[in-house]
A = this chain, B = another copy of it.
Amino acid sequence: MRRTLAAAVREAVRGGRLAPGTRLPSSRRLAAELGLARNTVADAYGDLVAEGWLTARRGSGTLVADRADRADRIDGTGRAGARPIVSRPAAGPSRTPRHDLIPGNPDLSAFPRAAWLAAARRALTTAPDDALGYGDPRGRPELRTALADHLARARGVYVSPEHVLICAGVSHGLRILGRVLAGRGARSVAVESYRLDRQYGLLEAAGLETLPLPLDTHGTDPVPPAGTDAVLLTPAHQFPVGTALRRDRRTAVVDWAGRTGGLVLEDDRDGEFRFGHRSVGALQALAPDRVVYLGTAGQTLAPGLRLAWMALPPALAGEAVAAKGRIDSSEVVSQLTMAEFIASGAYGRHVRAVRRRYRDRRDSLVTALARHAPQVRVLGVAGGLHAVLGLPPGTERPVLESATREGLRVAGLSRYRHERALNGVTDALVVGYGVPTDAQWPQALSALMRILS
């Protein structure tokens, strides 16, 4: 019925029987009129909004999208009324959270559209014709050269452009590395007890067992048990707990790799977001022959760019390029644009600007907690786009339930715990302060305080 209803509305819009701007009946009313469940109507509306046929704005209902005005929209005047709104239709607060505090995503309103377009223009104006072909499966040489320079300066990474591999995201990089490890006969990868769940599935899909590492009051003990082939770590800012790997443990895991021939996979996804004066350089520089460094533009710019990178040990480079293959090449215009964006200094300026923005949010979060919820312990806020808010034992689930009622989308720490983790930390919320816009953040913070105080 959802599909039939959506098809009927689509045909009516296409055929002109529903004109742009027409307000549709509320899902409740239409459901009553048609004798359908209200969810069926709401889902059909949601599909049509996602497809661009309808728009939905809180307070003004569901309207037929302004598709007939396409000729106006594309003349570049950028009229606000023609701006497509792709969002779920208004519904009960439990179905459409008002604020997204899931960690790991940036504020997309901070994307530097004008500077990116200017870099695209410069890059595409000067690029050779053959840059538009299939090209090198490692990625465009301009981007690999710019990244090798940038990573050396910003993160202390030691790599030559020929051993940089452009990929579509850290997850894509891990899929490639999983294949490389499996191809070398590896069987197991040690991982942190708390980790980004989807990453480990990628290693397991390559046939590798993931073994959780013990966690103590100083953070992860990163030296894997005997017989482990590799270890995946987030040394600069443990995800999600937020600790930096201690100096002696950095040395210990690199020694392990040198001694056993094991490989260290360094996920540095939010390594550029360190708020204090003491920066934590990449582990990779300690042993460029034994550490694969992974970084991404998904947190500093936007996930939709599908731009990430690996600095590979030279001995692994050929296998990684082969495991990537030509089908998985990245789009070239964004690669050329990113190269130009980095080389012109625009990337450095952008990272500094958003770092200030996130630091201000972190500061306001810590201040608000001290005032309204002093019982909450704040962890892991020296960097990154999220904080861990420690809760009294047994309270994580009820706090999550009240978050849902308040329209907050937020994660519990237990969600990130490896199913065979040797020990646990605490009940906690993992609060991402990246996603809300500057305008939304004060409201999101107030809602968070209501559920914690």
Contacts and interface: CB of A to CB of B under 8 A. Distances in A.
Number of identical monomers bound together in the oligomeric complex: 2
A128 B86 contact: yes
Contacts of A124: 113, 116-117
Interface stretch (A164-172, A211-219, A248-256): A164-172
B134 A111 contact: no
Interface stretch (A264-272, A322-330, A355-363, A413-421): A322-330
A160 B160 CA distance: 47
A56 to B, nearest CB: 12
Given A74-B340, A175-B327, A160 B7 contact: yes
Contacts of A85: 128
A141 B10 CA distance: 14
Given A74-B340, A327-B169, A304 B125 contact: no
B122 A120 contact: no
Contacts of A172: 327
B132 A303 contact: yes
Contacts of A314: 3
Q: Which of A10, A109, A128, A136 has the most chain B CB within a 10 Å cutoff? A: A128
Nearest 5 CB-CB pairings of A with B: A304-B332, A132-B302, A331-B331, A108-B129, A52-B141
A329 B298 CA distance: 13
Interface residues of A, number: 78
A406 interface: no
A303 to B, nearest CB: 5
A84 B129 CA distance: 10
A67 to B, nearest CB: 8
A433 B137 CA distance: 25
Given A74-B343, A117-B121, 19 more contacts: A7-B160, A51-B144, A51-B145, A52-B142, A70-B343, A74-B344, A76-B122, A86-B141, A108-B130, A120-B333, A132-B305, A135-B304, A302-B332, A304-B332, A305-B333, A307-B331, A330-B331, A333-B334, A334-B334
A427 interface: no
A36 B172 CA distance: 40
B125 A113 contact: yes
B121 A76 contact: yes
Interface string A92-108: 00000000000001001
A23 interface: no
A330 B306 contact: yes
Contacts of A302: 132-133, 332
A188 to B, nearest CB: 22
A78 interface: yes
A207 B279 CA distance: 49
A10 B10 CA distance: 59
A132 B304 contact: yes
A349 interface: no
